[in-house]
Amino acid sequence: MTTKTAPPSPALTPEQLRRRSVFSGTIGAIVEWYEYTVYGTAAALVFGSLFFPSENEAVSQIAALASFGVGFLARPLGAFIAGHLGDRIGRKATLLITFTIMSLATAGIGLLPTYQQVGLMAPILLCVLRLAQGFAVGGEWGGAAIIAVENAPKGRRGFYGSWPQIGVSCGLLLGTAAVWLAQIVSGDQFDTWGWRLPFLVSIVLAAVGLYIRMRAVESPAFLEAKKEAEEHQLEEVAPIPVVFKYHKKSLLIAMFSRFAEAGNYYLFTVFMLSYVASTLDLPSSYGLTAVIIGSALNIIMIPIFGRISDTIGRKKTFFFGATVIAISAWPIFALIDSGNPWAIILGVAIFLTFGHPAVYSVLPAFYCELFPTKVRYTGISVGYQLAAILLAGFTPVIAQALVAWSGGYWPLVVVVVVTATIAAIAVAASKETKDVDLNAVEG
């Protein structure tokens, strides 16, 4: 598939074009991750009894958290397809496709019948829609990151690239808050119909997000690459085999550098909700409040660390975050396990204020600086999502099983320390990239 390129509207200044593109990527990320968070929160709180009923509550909970992980199985497929389209037809068009799929799947979940109403068909339909969510997110992150970074002015790619990451945290905050409000509105009826409200509200958010995303402009780097290919009548090559043949090292660095935050993020935001409510037998509001406060702090710190990475470099910023994650693992779990609501808030806040934002903020710029323009969408999407399927998707259910096996949280501390160390080693294997020319990255 080929597409003719056209320059952005001359009525807009370069700065206005940059802001519109960054805003589009950020808003799209907010809506999509709101929808993703709503599912994860509902899975932790109510999906076990509604879609996977069992005489053993622990079995139902594990099944519900496993359904959360199902979405990650489709992420690599979404990354492959969206990456191919993004490098061939453009970043903007691909993002519109992924956004639409995600929104339709989320609304569909809010309308699903439960196991009590239709039997086995209920969990089957739930998992199908969850797969659609995963497919969409598999192609979403890479496009949003590229739109922001490729439109960034010189010396500010870390800061601009951090904004789609803010969208992820905003989505977490809004999604968790939506479930919390739905609990208040529906009261004792939350398990009956209240859980549906956050899913159905996404229809309105999706309409707003789609309008904003349609007004975005294509990135200058992509337009330049397409123009050069058209002028020289270059044959378009499928980006996927190019990435695996010529950019294996960059792909491995991208994949393993995510280990610091990929699974650990869901450990402290999704599994923690289940751990507090089920294992510790505390009010679910304790965990929800901690995630809401932690997410708000995360939103503030992500652009700060993104800007810091433009000054001291991607590697130093990342190493700081990975170190914080590793050395704070045991204290965080000890705070959560105390059962004190303020201690739980503090524990989650440590991770979401210092560890996570330091490593997460640099990834968009760092990834874009690893791959050339013609395969950038494919390279960063595949690298990012391969890590997701290895770690993030099934981390909550694995954590639940480890706690049930060990009777404590010590195995989770080991997981956090090991994954953060692997990520640090991967980043150490790369060169510092903050000053590279995106258009000059070797292809």
For residue range 43-91, what is the model confidence (pLDDT) as tens digits? 888 898 899 988 777 788 888 878 877 887 888 888 888 888 888 777 7
H-type helices in 74-156, by residue range?
A: 75-88, 91-110, 115-118, 121-150
CA distances from 275 to 17, 188, 294, 357, 403 (A): 45, 21, 17, 23, 9
Q: Domain boundaries in the chain?
A: 14-221+238-435
349-393 confidence digits (pLDDT tens): 999 999 999 999 999 999 999 999 889 989 998 898 888 878 876
14-221+238-435 placed in CATH 1.20.1250.20: yes
Please name the residues in contact with 418: beta carbons below 8 A apart, sequence gap of 6 or more: none
Tell me what pLDDT residue 225 has. 67
User: How far apart (Å, rounded) are the C-alpha atoms in residues 260 and 268?
Assistant: 13
Which amino acid type is present at position 186?
S
Query: How would residue 1 be classed by pLDDT, with cut points 50, 70 and 90?
Result: very low
Whether residue 149 contacts residue 91, with contact meaning beta carbons closer than 8 Å, is answered with: no
User: How far apart (Å, rounded) are the C-alpha atoms in residues 37 and 261?
Assistant: 16
Tell me what pLDDT residue 3 has. 44
* pLDDT above 70 for 2: no
* pLDDT above 90 for 309: yes
Please name the residues in contact with 278: beta carbons below 8 A apart, sequence gap of 6 or more: 57, 58, 61
DSSP assignments along 276-335, one per residue: IIIIS---HHHHHHHHHHHHHHHHHHHHHHHHHHHHH-HHHHHHHHHHHHHHHHHHHHHH
Query: How would residue 5 be classed by pLDDT, with cut points 50, 70 and 90?
Result: very low
CA 62 from chain centre, in angstroms, equals 22
Tell me what pLDDT residue 128 has. 93
248-294 confidence digits (pLDDT tens): 999 999 999 999 998 899 899 888 988 998 889 999 889 989 988 99
Whether residue 398 contacts residue 270, with contact meaning beta carbons closer than 8 Å, is answered with: no
* pLDDT above 70 for 129: yes
User: How far apart (Å, rounded) are the C-alpha atoms in residues 407 and 411?
Assistant: 10
175-229 confidence digits (pLDDT tens): 888 988 999 999 889 989 999 999 998 888 888 888 877 776 666 666 776 676 6
* pLDDT above 80 for 32: no
Whether residue 42 contacts residue 186, with contact meaning beta carbons closer than 8 Å, is answered with: no
